[in-house]
Every structure is written in structure tokens, then in C-alpha cells.
Structure 1
Amino acid sequence: MPDVLRVHEDDNVIIAVKALEKGSTIKDGSQEITLLSDIPMGHKIAIRDIKSGDNVIRYGNPIGHAIQNITQGEYVHNHNVKTNLSDVVEYVYQPNLKPVEVQGDMPTFEGYRRPDGKVGIRNEIWVIPTVFCANGPVQKMVELANQKYSRTENFDGFYALTHPNGCSQMGEDNLNTQKILANLAKHPNAGGVLLVSLGCEVNNFDSFLPILGDFDPQRIKTMISQEVEDEIAVGMDLLDQLYEYTVSFHRETRPLSDLILAVNCGGSDGFSGITANAVLGKVTDIITGFGGTVIMTEVPEMFGAEHILMNRAANKEVFDKIVSLINDYKEYYKKYGQVIYDNPTQGNMAGGISTLEEKSLGCTQKGGQAIVTDVLKYGETIKTKGFNLISGPGNDLVGITNQEAAGAVVTVFTTGRGTPAGFAVPLIRMGSNSTMSNRKTNWIDYNAAVVLEGKNFDQAAREMLELILEVASGHKQSLAEAKGYRQIGMLRDGVTN
């Protein structure tokens, strides 16, 4: 494994693959560089002198500018680099479309085809409260139902999708909650759904069911807790009915073009963009190349790399949607008096990321070279196959819940710092560095740092796709899924009364 890594030939910084000591000599190509300070793993080193005011280049793009003269061999981080980013920007469409060519036969997985044509990868029963007041009874029903009915070849258990929302919300804030819950109620990983209302909440059925729209009463049951004597007993009777319906479904062979994958990242480090996200980007290219769908969010972590996504828009209409996606999110920051580019986080900086541009250029690697086929607003569902963007925050809980509610049946999450979190659908976690991945083997499903240790990117991407298809087919569970880690969260944007 090399001591350092250069990402792009135009870069004026390189990345320390391991911790390096002051005074040691490293090689960048034929050039020898003496280090002027200790360099932590994943952090940047100047490969030539950079004058104050000149751009610092990584991924072949500026990640900020030097705020003082930087000497060859010097440690480059937020003490001597500052972002170039500013306010709302006007953009010009300069299409750079390079359709990905895939070879071989269409890969397949074993999934559940629902009557509405959607294809899921699990056959579960979800119990969803319309309000936090019903969380306790919902959890108790799920506990009792899982004791009564065992998991089988074609039944994957009962799950409570509890949350803190549903009352004391107004206007758009309440609507955000309703859209996400309605989309989850129609998710193909759920063979059956029980919706549990308290009765007097803001998001009661009079308010919520019009958002849900038409539904199959065999698949979705409803209960108002305040209107029954024993909500647990009534709920269990309804779950009995849903169980009989749900177990009528069986897996069948489906093409990769039926798969919808969410890609997301959190706790990123200096390696994320060159290992885990880069490998996942190649997976995105394969899936979309075969006609499947990948959905990406984390809009604030597109700032500084948005021009790359805009120039991969399928047409001017999609380009305009990406422009609105970016600038609308900036206006969201301004509405609350927040600094648009107040990012990365403390953990990101500890991992070697200095500016938001650097974080974004690494984050967007998850999209590979795929053409952007559509852009969705928060709470919308996927309508177009291919590579989709959806409005949402960098916050893992809110962003991933939104992606999964939009239709993703499996999520791949990359991390450099590590996190055990799980969400509504199976989540596969990729590590960006071996130090963390080897320490947290109970969290990390795939260590993408193998590409620094001799494995080529194409081979790693094939292994990752095989893992996704194994999980999708029910042949194995991801680590988070096996531990039963599940949670959902919705965007809050308004007055709490």
C-alpha cells in the first residue's frame, strides 16, 4: 500500500494513506517531498508551493483557496484553506453526457412483485403510527405479533416505524410528515401495513387519508385507538388479517432494472471520495446502465460540486430542476439566518476534509458518471428510471427516510468515521478506510479500502453489486438489518404549536 495517493493529475495536494511523521520523505510520482509536519491519516499534503489566494486543487477541482502561502510538504487543512463558495449562483447548462456502457447479461435478484407493479425485496408487515402518542401501543403490537408468527422463507417479520411527529404541527411542516408516512405505507417492502391513529391528533385520519389516496384495503388496515376499547386486541386482529394476505406473496426472479437503490453517506473522511464513494459510483453506473434506478440526496453536500451534476442532466428541463434544487436549498438556509457553507462537521474535519467543496466533490462520487434523469422534491416518489436526485438534508435520518419513502428498497451507506444506524429498509454499510472498518466489523458490511491495497475498482464494484443482490434476494441480511436497527425521521420546517 502506498504512503500517499494523488486523486487527479491536476491536483496540487496528495492524501496521506497512513499517518506520516515530520521530516520523512515521500514520493509523488518521480518527485520526492520532505514533510514539514506530522500528517494524520487521510489528510492533505502540498506537492508544490501554493501562494496565498491560489486555489487548492483536489479531484481536479478547486476545494477552496490558500489563506496564506503554503510550502511544498506542508500540512494542508482548514488552518490554511478557506472555501470559495458564496451565495445563490447563476448556472449555464454545458452538457457533458457520457452514457455508461455495460456488458454481459442482465443481473437478477429474487424479489416480491406487488399488485401495483412495484418490486420489493422484503415481505414484511409495517405498523405505522400517525402520531407519536401511538408509538407505545404500536411497539407492543409488533412485539406480540413477532411472538405469534415466526419468520419464514416468504415472511420477514413485523416492524414498528415509530417517530416523534404527527401533532402540534402546522402547514407545510405537517404536510411533510404526511407525505413521508403515506409513501412508506405504499412501499413495496411491506406486504401489509397497519396505520394506527390516536384520534385527536393534527395528523388524524380525516387529515391523513386524503394524502394517502386510494389504497387496497386488503393490504392497508386502519385503526383509531380512542374509538376502541382495547387497541392492542383490535390491532392484533387486524395484524392477523394482514398476515394472511402478506404470506400469499412469494419471491420471483426479477431483472436488475426493477431495483431501486438509495446511496447516502455520513461521517465522511478524507478517504470517502476515493474509496467507498468511488466504488459505489461504479455500482451506480452498472445499475443505471442496466435500466435500474439509483436515488441520491444530501443537497447541502452537493454545494461546490453541483456543476458536475448539472452538466450530466439528461436535458435542459432536468438541468433547470437541479438549479432549483440547489438554489432553493440555499434560500432555506438564508430563511433561518444560517451560513450556507457552514460545513463540514467536526468529525469530517478530524477525518481530513477541510471545506464543503472537498466534502461535496467526494460525496457526489456516489453518482458515478450516470446521467441525471429526474429531480424530485421532498416527499415525492420516483417516476423515472435512472439516476435521480431528491431534495433533502445531509442529516442521515431525515435524508435516508426520504429516499426510502420515495421508493428505494435497499440503501448503501458509506462512512469513514463509522455509525451503526439502520432505517426502514435493509441498509448495507461501506467503510472508507481499513482502520475503522477492521475495528468496527460489527458495523461495516464491506471495506472499500481494499482498493488502496491492490484490488481494482471494477472488481470491488462487482463484489459490492453481488452483495447488494444477495441482500436483495434474501440470501443474507446486512449487519444493521440483522440487529433489528430501524428508525425513521421527517423534515421539520415550521411552527410547533
Structure 2
Amino acid sequence: MSKSVPFLILNPADDVMIALRDLSQGDCINGVTLLDAIPSGHKIAIKPIAKGQPIRRYGQVIGFATQDVAMGRHVHVHNLAIGEFEKDYRFSQDYAPTDRVDTPDTFMGIVRPDGQVATRNYIGILTSVNCSATVARAVADQFRREIRPEALEPYPNVDGVVALTHGTGCAIDSTGEGLKILQRTIAGYVRHPNFAGLLIIGLGCETNQISALMKAQALEEGRNLHTFNIQDAGGTPKSIAKGVEIVQGMLEEANRIERRPVPVSHLKIGLQCGGSDGYSGITANPVLGAAMDILVRNGGTAILSETPEIYGAEHLLTCRAATPAIGRKLVDIIDWWKDLCARNNASLDNNPSSGNKAGGLTTVLEKSLGGVAKGGTTGMMEVYQYAEPVEAQGLVFMNTPGYDPMSATGQVAGGANMICFTTGRGSAYGCAPAPSLKLSTNTALWVRQQDDIDMNCGSVVDEGANIGQLGREFYDMMIRCASGERSKSEQYGYGQNEFVPWQLSVVT
């Protein structure tokens, strides 16, 4: 591809081509006279399509024509919609073990006493309930470098003190799945290697009692894990003072770390896409997938998630499952989502968002087919529920919503020590305690918002850049970031507002 080519056909079986720049009505492109003006990233019919017929992109069905579509017409929400069709899951038929490199790459990691390896070194303040969020933030503010730079000056090896608060924890079923997920999520952060020390602050009367959380998740207080309730501490000022004292007591030990070479097998990467557009499945997602293939060959783990955003493309994963049972786990999760939507009068096709559609994506099927490219081409080794500890190596899947902060929260709770995030419309996302690297799908976004983006993948369509080579370059960037180089979002202090556990329970 190059700047002189104004279109792209992704598969010989496709019914559409993709505009690589804004095109005008009347233009003749690849022998097709355009009957409409076509925005960059959007689809053009390259043959007549009858009403009710499937429309293909990537050689896969992305929906069905809602009216007759003439060759040269803009194909989008006005004439394309989702529909049901049979998928051939071909469980494990394309699975092949991944060839591992003889000498795995290394990065400069922080080895914890229990053998876990960190990419960052934070002290965290978590909350059991929304009611303790203000106190938690007030404690963290006493150690924020931009507010009180002198507080952490003696501790240069501590990346920061962060308060990760949430909006739930009470008025929910004390024995329900929602509380279990919240407790599992909090426990995942408590155990996360990127935290050198943790403080959990509660109110005292909430449903999510700290004592019950600790028992359910087999957590024990110690030098690096402390808890207390505001009501027991005597109110807000006393609680803030107590929290500051506890954090201060953990800083000296947290500062006594050094980075040393460790195998890349210790990296667990959460894969995200947000603000996707028509280029996502062509540029940034395949580039990220190429980097994940290198990671997996070196023994690392890639966590693909956002279940509603792989709906319609799940058959591309089930055929690569290491066993049929693993593939069926994914299908069972898809069926659970269908049932959830049916019971709540919702539709999985309420995704894509308005921004996705403005960028050229029409249906969730189309979005999903591009989204799975983030996972690369290796076998799917396991399927996890939200915030479950990820123990398998290689490409795995975690059941999460498509909402980026909520999805990434589950991945980090499962052990992800880095997030890689593709965006076409623009994102300023960050994630404490795991650094987040962002890739732009198009050069226009990079030019407009490069202060927030770590790598531009628009050169794939602008200059014909090789996806594999860009994947290698991004993999090298990941290694540098895992070794301590700060991402764009870290430079601007993102991460404390992006802790969003999945809320499933009825609020009463």
C-alpha cells in the first residue's frame, strides 16, 4: 500500500473495498464509479448486493444488506445490519503448538520475594466501598509528586502512591456473583506484583466487609498489606492521618528494589482497543498481533478480552483452541452474553459506538473481526472468567465487557503487568499499576494527538510499512516500557481513575 492507492480490498471474497482517503462522488476507483462521497476508512460496494444477502469484509460476514445496494454505493448503517448465521467453530482444527525461541528475550524487571516479577513499583490504596473513596484519595494526595514533590524525594525507586477507588461495595447481594467479582478483583490487585505495598480502607458498615473479603480471598495482613475502617479510626481526619502514617511506614522497604534481567515469560499483556475505526483491523490491531506472536514465542502471555467485541469472530479463536474444551468455554461465554442481553432487552449490536461508526465500522461483527487481530496467530491456550488469575502461558481469553476501563481492570486483576491499547478515534487512557502503551490506527490521529499515543501504525496504509516489522518495533518498545521507560499516559499521570470493576449485582 502507498499514498497513491486510494482503496484496499482485504480478501478476494469481499463485497466491499475500503477507502484510504476521502473520496468524492463520481470518482472512478478500481473500475468502480462512486455513487456517493465516501469518508476515509468507510466501505464501498464493489458489486451489486441484493437485499438480505450477506456482505463480507476480511472474507467474513459483517452483516446483511437491508436494501438493494448498487455497485459504487457507500455501505454503512443505512444499508447494512447485523443478522444471525451459522458459524463453523471447527474446535481446535487449526491449532498448532507454538515454536518457542531457543534463548528467550529478557527485560529489566523487579523480582518480588515470592518470585513474581513487576514492571512497576507502586504503593496502592484500595477501597472496599465507594464511601471510603474520599479518604483514600486524600491519603494518596499527600504523596503525589505534582502536589508534594518532597514526599517521595527520599524514595526514587517508588513509582508513586495511587488510590484506586470504585463506585460500588454496598446495597448488593452479600452472597451474589457481583460481590464475588468485586472481591476477586480487589484481591487480584492486592496480589499484583506491581504493588510493593497495599492499604485497604473501608467505611465499616458496608456489604463488602474487609474481614469477609480477606477471608474469602485468603488474604492476610502483614508488613505490606494493611486495612482499617473509617468508623473504627474515628472519622475522616483521623483516618487520613492513619493512612498517611501506614503508607509512610511502607515506603522505605518499597524503595529497596533493583531491576535485573528476567525472561520475557514474566510479561502478561492485556490487549485493548478503544475508539476503533475502519483502520483498526487493517493497521494497529494486526501490528499488535504481530508483537504478541513474538511475545508468545518468547514464553510471554497475551490476554485478549472484551467479549462483546469478539462476538461474530469467535470462530476464528475456537479453531485455534489448544483443546476442544477450551474452545467450548468461549462459546459458552458468548451464549451467556446472548442470554444476558435477551433478559435485559438489550442487543450485542449496540456496539459499535457512535465514534466507531463515524470511523467506518458498521456492525459489531465487523468490529470483532478486526478486534481479534490483536491476539496474533498463535493457539488459544485457556479461557478465563473476569479477574481470574491468569496462569497459562501464550494467548488466552478473559471474559470482560467491551468498556475499556472495566475490561482492563479485569485483566490487571488477573495479572496483566502491561496494557497495550489500539485506538482510531483517539484515547488518553492510562492504567495504574500497569503501564499502558497506545497505538494509533491512522496518521491523522497521530498528528492530532501524538502527545497521548506511543506509536503510529498509520504508516501501514500511508507508506506500505510492513506489519511484521512494525510489530517487532512495538515489541521492542514493550520491552523498554516493561524495563522502566515511561509511557505517554504515565507521563501525564493517568491511571487512578481507570479502576472500574465489573458490576453485575442488582443494586437494592
Q: Provide TM-score, normalisation by structure 2.
A: 0.93
Q: Deviations over 1:175-198 (max 9, x none)?
A: 221111111111111111111122
Of 132, 143, 146, the residue aligned with 1:145 is: 143
Q: Closer, same or farther in 2 for the Cα pair 1:102/1:458, shift >3 Å?
A: farther
Aligned match of 1:107: 105
Does 1:477 find its partner at 2:486? yes
- Deviation of 1:220 after TM superposition, in Å, equals 1.0
Instruction: Return the alpha-carbon distance in structure 1 between the equivalents of residues 365 and 499 of structure 2.
Output: 29
- Deviation of 1:402 after TM superposition, in Å, equals 0.5
Moved more, 73-82 or 120-129: 73-82
2:466 is aligned with what amino acid?
N
Which secondary structure does the structure 2 equivalent of 1:42 belong to? coil
Instruction: Return the alpha-carbon distance in structure 1 between the equivalents of residues 231 and 351 of structure 2.
Output: 45
2:47 is aligned with what amino acid?
R
Q: Deviations over 1:72-116 (max 9, x none)?
A: 2221112122223369x8955251124454668422211111222
Q: Deviations over 1:131-178 (max 9, x none)?
A: 111111111211213432238552211111111121222222222211
Instruction: Return the alpha-carbon distance in structure 2 between the equivalents of residues 227 and 352 of structure 1.
Output: 55
Instruction: Return the alpha-carbon distance in structure 1 between the equivalents of residues 436 and 390 of structure 2.
Output: 19
- Deviation of 1:9 after TM superposition, in Å, equals 2.4
Aligned match of 2:211: 206
Does 1:372 find its partner at 2:385? no
Does 1:495 find its partner at 2:473? no
- Deviation of 1:211 after TM superposition, in Å, equals 2.6
Aligned counterparts, 1:21-420, within 5 A: 21-27=24-30, 32-85=31-84, 93=91, 95-101=93-99, 105-146=103-144, 147=148, 148-150=151-153, 153-170=156-173, 171-215=176-220, 217-229=222-234, 230-420=238-428
1:379 is aligned with what amino acid?
A
Q: Deviations over 1:188-242 (max 9, x none)?
A: 1111111112211111222211133144612211122222241122212211221
Does 1:426 find its partner at 2:435? yes
Which secondary structure does the structure 1 equivalent of 2:158 belong to? coil
CA contact (8 A) 1:63 1:83 kept: yes
CA contact (8 A) 2:156 2:255 kept: no
- Deviation of 1:477 after TM superposition, in Å, equals 1.2
Instruction: Return the alpha-carbon distance in structure 2 between the equivalents of residues 206 and 348 of structure 1.
Output: 43
Q: Deviations over 1:43-94 (max 9, x none)?
A: 011222223332211111111122222222221112122223369x895525
Aligned match of 2:457: 448
* Two-structure CA RMSD over aligned residues (Å): 1.9
- Deviation of 1:438 after TM superposition, in Å, equals 1.0
1:472 is aligned with what amino acid?
A
Instruction: Return the alpha-carbon distance in structure 2 between the equivalents of residues 296 and 210 of structure 1.
Output: 30
CA contact (8 A) 1:124 1:155 kept: yes
2:184 is aligned with what amino acid?
K
Instruction: Return the alpha-carbon distance in structure 1 between the equivalents of residues 141 and 351 of structure 2.
Output: 41
2:389 is aligned with what amino acid?
T
Gap regions ≥5 residues in structure 1: none
Instruction: Return the alpha-carbon distance in structure 1 between the equivalents of residues 131 and 337 of structure 2.
Output: 32
Moved more, 431-440 or 69-78: 69-78
Instruction: Return the alpha-carbon distance in structure 2 between the equivalents of residues 82 and 272 of structure 1.
Output: 20
Of 446, 450, 469, the residue aligned with 1:459 is: 469
Aligned length: 491
1:48 is aligned with what amino acid?
K
Gap regions ≥5 residues in structure 2: none
Which secondary structure does the structure 1 equivalent of 2:287 belong to? helix
Instruction: Return the alpha-carbon distance in structure 1 between the equivalents of residues 452 and 278 of structure 2.
Output: 20
CA contact (8 A) 2:386 2:411 kept: no
Q: Closer, same or farther in 2 for the Cα pair 1:137/1:214, shift >3 Å?
A: closer
Instruction: Return the alpha-carbon distance in structure 2 between the equivalents of residues 278 and 319 of structure 1.
Output: 22
Moved more, 139-148 or 252-261: 139-148
Instruction: Return the alpha-carbon distance in structure 2 between the equivalents of residues 295 and 386 of structure 1.
Output: 8
2:108 is aligned with what amino acid?
E
Q: Closer, same or farther in 2 for the Cα pair 1:291/1:77, shift >3 Å?
A: same
CA contact (8 A) 1:85 1:304 kept: no
CA contact (8 A) 1:98 1:369 kept: no
